[in-house]
Amino acid sequence: MDKCKIPLFLGNYKPEVLVTLEFGEYTLVWWSQMLEDIRRGVRDPCEDLVALKRFMRGRFVPTSHTRDLHNKLQMLYQGTRSVEEYHKEMEMDLMKAQIRESKEATTTQFLHGLNMEI
C-alpha cells in the first residue's frame, strides 16, 4: 500500500488539488476513480480537509492500527535509549494514537517504562 502525505491546507485551494501532489501509484488511481464517482454523482465531495482526512483514514488505515498503537504504548520501555529519546517516542505514540489522558496517567506510564538505574 502506498503511503501518502496530506499537505498543509491553508484554504487557498481546494483540498483535492493539494492532495494529488503527494499521491503514489495506487493512491493516484484510487483518487482518480473517486473524483470520477463525484462527477457522476455516485458519491458526494468532501466539504473540507477534515472530512477528506477522515474519509482517507477510513480507506487507507487498517482497523488494527489504533489497537497496535495502544499495544506499542503498553510495551514501551526506555531500553538503551536516552530519557529524552524515550520521552519523545512516548509523546509521538500518544499523538499518533490520539490518546488524551491525564498528566498523572501519562507520568505513571512514563515512570514505569524507565530503566531502574535512573
Cβ atoms within 10 Å, residue 98: 8
- What b/e string do you get for 64-90 counting C-beta neighbours within 10 Å, with b at 16 or more? eeeeebeeebeebebeeeeeeebeebb
Q: What is the pLDDT of residues 56-67, one digit of tens each?
A: 888 888 889 888
Q: What is the pLDDT of residues 58-116, one digit of tens each?
A: 888 888 988 899 999 999 999 999 999 999 999 999 988 888 888 999 999 999 999 98
- In the chain, DSSP assigns E strands to none
Which residue's entry shows cell 454523482? 41
Task: Report if pTM > 0.75.
Answer: no
Query: Could you tell me the residue ranges of all domains in the chain?
Result: 15-60, 64-113
3-state SS class at 4: coil
